[in-house]
């Protein structure tokens, strides 16, 4: 069973419907026992980093996330769900993340050396990915494929070996990661049509 963690941070139903579309049942839940018993865990999210961490703590969801990852269970973070895996985020001050991976979540800048650029923040819309590692999540996805993004912050990792893809938006940033059983995407596969569904199918079939 695939457990989609419900912590009041958006787009849960669209993720569930995407899994259903590819023939895999998924349950939206905030029950720690259900998450603990699941074969696969998904942490989606849209919203602010500090609010998300407060909600994970309030609903007592941090332990089942950490334990599931430690047990080797396939884990997928989506958008904010990727960012929360890291040490800290700088949205509305410095806030502690799950610290499962080492790194910081920082904001895109719309100027470079004082010169305005044409970038708009947040980064919204379709953009391409460049493969950096042979992640099993991307086995059937061509290099340079387009995925759908909505975010104002990106991850700066301490160890770039975790970057499975990067994307250009004023700079080259990590758009997905892979470390052991941990997979995460800054983009939204559930909104990325056929290529996004391929990723979700590959994740659902892991085990």
Catalytic residue numbers read 79, 188, 190
Q: How far apart are CA 40 and CA 207, in angstroms?
A: 8
Q: Give which of 16, 25, 158 is closest to 78, Cα–Cα.
A: 16
Residue 71 CB partners (closer than 8 Å, separation 6+): none
Per DSSP, 171 falls in state S
Residue 127 CB partners (closer than 8 Å, separation 6+): 146, 147, 149, 167, 168, 169, 175, 187
Per DSSP, 190 falls in state G
Please compute Rg for the chain using Cα positions: 16
Q: Is the sign of the CA dihedral 45, 160, 64, 99 positive or negative?
A: negative
End-to-end CA distance of the chain: 11
- The answer to whether 4 and 46 have CB atoms below 8 angstroms apart is no
Q: Is the sign of the CA dihedral 126, 81, 172, 167 positive or negative?
A: negative
């Amino acid at each position: 069973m695939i457990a989609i963690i419900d912590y009041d941070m958006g787009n849960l139903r669209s993720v569930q419907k995407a899994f259903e579309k590819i023939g895999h049942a998924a349950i939206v839940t905030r029950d720690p026992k259900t998450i603990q018993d699941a074969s696969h865990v998904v942490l989606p999210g849209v919203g602010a980093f500090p609010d998300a961490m407060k909600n994970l703590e309030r609903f007592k969801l941090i332990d089942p996330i950490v334990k599931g990852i430690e047990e080797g269970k396939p884990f997928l973070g989506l958008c904010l769900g990727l960012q929360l895996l890291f040490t800290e985020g700088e949205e509305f001050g410095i806030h502690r993340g799950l610290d499962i991976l080492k790194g910081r979540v920082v904001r895109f800048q719309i100027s470079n050396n004082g010169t305005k650029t044409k970038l708009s923040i947040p980064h919204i819309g379709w953009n391409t990915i460049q493969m950096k590692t042979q992640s099993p999540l991307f086995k059937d996805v061509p290099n340079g494929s387009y995925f759908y993004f909505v975010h104002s912050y990106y991850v700066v990792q301490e160890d770039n070996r975790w970057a499975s893809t990067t994307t250009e938006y004023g700079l080259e940033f990590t758009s997905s990661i892979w470390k052991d059983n941990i997979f995460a995407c800054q983009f939204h596969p559930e909104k990325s049509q056929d290529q996004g569904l391929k990723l979700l199918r590959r994740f659902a079939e892991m085990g």
